[in-house]
Structure 1
Amino acid sequence: MTENDLLKKWLNDELTDAEKDAFSKQPDYAINQNIIDKAKHFKASQFSKAEDFKTFKANYQNKTPVKRLTWLQPFISIAAALIIGFGVYFTFFNSDIVEVKTLIAQQTTTSLPDQSTVILNADSKITYDSDTWNTTRRLNLEGEAYFKVAKGKTFDVVTPNGTVTVIGTEFNVKARKAYFEIMCFEGIVKVTSDTITEQLVAGETFRILNKKFTQSKTIDLEPQWTNNRSSFKSVPLKKVFDELERQYNIKVLFKNTDLSRVFTGVFVNDNIENALISITKPMNLTFEISSPKQVLIHGNKN
C-alpha cells in the first residue's frame, strides 16, 4: 500500500490496527495530525471528498506566497485625488475670490464691497475674497493702483514687494519688478517691506528702487497717471521705457543707449510721438517709429 493510500484511509478513518501502527511511524505523521487537530476548530462551507485529496495535496505543496492587495492601489490613488480636488474646490470655488485686471494700454476703476475705490493702471491686477471682506479688508496687488479707502477697519494692500496698511486714506501703490513706490495723498499710511517699516502722511512718498530705499515729498493731490500722464523722479531710463511700453502696447529697441541714466519728467499716455519727444529730448536721444508697434531709440555715439 502506498503512502498516499494510507493517508486517504486515515482521513476516512478506515485504517486497520496494523495500518495505523505503520502510518503513525511515517515522518510526516505529526504534521498531518496537527492539521487535522486545528481543522476541528473551523466549520467548512463545503465538504471535500477524499478522492479530491491528491489535488488538494498537490496544490498545498506547490502553493505560492499570498499576493498583497495591489488591487487597492488604484482606489487609494483615486481617493487621494478626490481629497485634493475637494480641497481645491472649497479653497477657490466655494470662496468668492474676485479678480480685477487691466491689459496693456488700459485703465479701469472698480469699487470694493465697502465702497472703497480702486483705479488700476495698465497691466495691473487686484484679487480679494468678498466672503471675508467685512471682517478682513485685505487685497493683493500686482502692478499699480490708486486707492481711495472708505473709513473702517484696517485696510491692507499686499504686494510681492511689501505691504501697505491704512484705515481710511488716499494713496498710490506701484509694485513692479524691483520697483516699489507708495505715495500718500491723504491720511496716514504704514508701509512694510522686508526689514523697513515707515509711516507716511499726506505729501510723503516711499520708494525702494533696485534695492535702494528713499523718501521724498510730492505736491500732487493724486497720481498723475490717472490724468493720462506718467510721472518720474530720478528713475532709470529702463523703467521709464518699460512704462512707455505698458501704456502704448509697443516694443522699444535700443541702439547705443545707456539705460542706467536717470530721468525726471513726464510723458503723456495718449500720444506716442509727444511721449517720445518728452523722454528723448531732455536725455539727448533720438527716436524712430519703425512700425506701429515698434520704436527704436538712438543714443549718442560718443
Structure 2
Amino acid sequence: MSNWIQKYNQGTPSKAQNLEEQDDFDLFMEMSEFDQPVDVDAAWNKLHTQLVPKRSVTPWLLRIAAVLVVLFGLGYAVTQNIDTKAPATLSEVISSDQLQEVVLPDGSVITLAKNSQIRYEETSFPEKRAVNLKGEAYFEVTKGNVPFIITSASGKVTVLGTSFNLNTRRGLQLLVTSGTVRVETEQDKRMVYKGQQASATNQGSIRVATAPNMNHLGWKTGQFKFENEPLDQVLPLLERYYQVKISTNKSIRQCRITAEFDETPLENVVDIISTILNAKSHISGDNIKFSGKGCN
C-alpha cells in the first residue's frame, strides 16, 4: 500500500502510463476506507447482548402471564358453574272438567276446581313457597317457617300453615276454614281469620265479614246447608258441583229453600227441591228444569 501512495504523490500519471493505473488507484482508495483494524471480541460481545434477552424483563413477563392464566381459569370456572347450574323447574297443572289434586314438595295439598290452573317452581320448595293461581282452588298448607304465597291477577295471599278456599275468577274471594290468612291488593291489606270470608273489589279495597256457611266449599266437599236462602243463590252452587244446567220460571226463582245435602245424588236433590217448591221437574241429560206456580 505504501508503494501506491508514493507513486501517487509523485504526480499525476501520464497518459503514456496508461489509464489502467489510474483506475486501479481509485479502486484502492475506495477500499482503503474500510481498511481498519477489527476488534473481534468487542463485536461478539455486542452481538451476544442483542441476541440474549435481558434477565430483568423475563420474570415480569412470566408473572403477568401466570396472572392472566389464573384469571382466565377463574372466569371459566364461574362461567361453567353458572351454565351447568340446574335451571328452575316451572311446573304447571291445569284442570279441565275434573277436580285435580296436587301435592307440593313441602307436603301442602291443593285441590284445583274445574278449569283452573296453578304454576310454581318445583326446585324452589321449601326455601321459597310460591304459587300462581288462575281460577279457584282449596289450599291445605303445611306449617313452616317460610311464608306460603299465592299470587293472582287480583291480589296476593300469604299464610304460614292453614286451610282456605280462594277464588280468583271474578276479583278475589277468600273463605278461611282454619288458621289466619293475610290478603293484599295494591290499595289494601287485611287479616282474615277462621270462619271469615273476604272479597276484593275492582278498586282494590278488601271487605271482611263472618261467613254464614261453608256452601262456597261445596264444589269440593259436596256438602251444602241452605237456611231460608233464595233459590237464585242456591242453584249456581248446585250447578257447579253437579255440572248441570238448571232452569226455572221467574216465579219459582224468587222462592227460598231450607235444606241440607251431603254428597247427595243429583236425582234425590231434584226431588227434594221439587217437594219444597211444590213444582214439577224434568231431567234431560245435563239439563234440569223446574216449573210451577211458585211460592206465593
Q: CA, structure 1 residues 166+265, in 2 after alignment: closer, same or farther (shift >3 Å)?
A: farther
CA distance in 1: counterparts of 2:273 and 2:208, whole angstroms: 23
Q: CA, structure 1 residues 147+129, in 2 after alignment: closer, same or farther (shift >3 Å)?
A: same
Give the secondary structure class of the aligned counterpart of 2:120.
strand
1:105-129 alpha-carbon deviations (Å, 9 max, x no partner): x333221121111123344332222
* Deviation at residue 223 of structure 1 after TM alignment: 4.7
Q: CA, structure 1 residues 204+119, in 2 after alignment: closer, same or farther (shift >3 Å)?
A: same
Give the secondary structure class of the aligned counterpart of 1:153.
coil
* Deviation at residue 190 of structure 1 after TM alignment: 0.6
Equivalent in the alignment of 1:272: 266
**Pairing 1:295–2:288 present:** yes
Q: How does 1:74-89 map to 2 (within 5 A)?
A: none
Q: 2:182 aligns with which of 185, 190, 194?
A: 190
* Deviation at residue 241 of structure 1 after TM alignment: 2.8
Question: Which one is further off, 258-267 or 185-194?
Answer: 258-267
CA distance in 2: counterparts of 1:269 and 1:210, whole angstroms: 34
Unpaired segments ≥5 residues, structure 2: 1-86
Q: Is the 8 A contact 1:188 1:199 kept in 2?
A: yes
Equivalent in the alignment of 2:94: 101
Equivalent residue letter for 2:236:
D
Q: How does 1:127-276 map to 2 (within 5 A)?
A: 127-150=119-142, 151-177=144-170, 180-193=172-185, 195-207=187-199, 213-217=207-211, 223=217, 225-230=219-224, 237-238=231-232, 240-256=234-250, 266-276=260-270
The CA RMSD measured in Å over matched residues stands at 3.9
CA distance in 2: counterparts of 1:134 and 1:162, whole angstroms: 22
Q: Is the 8 A contact 2:270 2:281 kept in 1?
A: no
* Deviation at residue 294 of structure 1 after TM alignment: 0.8
Q: Is the 8 A contact 1:161 1:175 kept in 2?
A: yes
Equivalent residue letter for 1:121:
A
Equivalent residue letter for 1:275:
V
CA distance in 2: counterparts of 1:234 and 1:195, whole angstroms: 36
Q: Is the 8 A contact 2:218 2:237 kept in 1?
A: no
Unpaired segments ≥5 residues, structure 1: 1-93
Give the secondary structure class of the aligned counterpart of 1:114.
coil
Larger radius of gyration: 2
Hey, which bits of structure 1, 4+ residues long, moved more than 6 A?
A: 209-212, 232-236, 260-264
CA distance in 2: counterparts of 1:149 and 1:159, whole angstroms: 17
Question: Which is helix-richer, 1 or 2?
Answer: 2
CA distance in 2: counterparts of 1:176 and 1:285, whole angstroms: 35
* Deviation at residue 166 of structure 1 after TM alignment: 0.7
If the length of structure 1 is used for normalisation, what is the TM-score?
A: 0.53
CA distance in 1: counterparts of 2:285 and 2:251, whole angstroms: 21
CA distance in 2: counterparts of 1:274 and 1:99, whole angstroms: 38
Q: Is the 8 A contact 1:191 1:197 kept in 2?
A: yes
Equivalent in the alignment of 1:110: 102
Q: Is the 8 A contact 1:236 1:263 kept in 2?
A: yes
Equivalent residue letter for 1:228:
G
1:163-220 alpha-carbon deviations (Å, 9 max, x no partner): 2211122222233436x43222332211124644321222322245999945004687
Equivalent residue letter for 1:166:
V
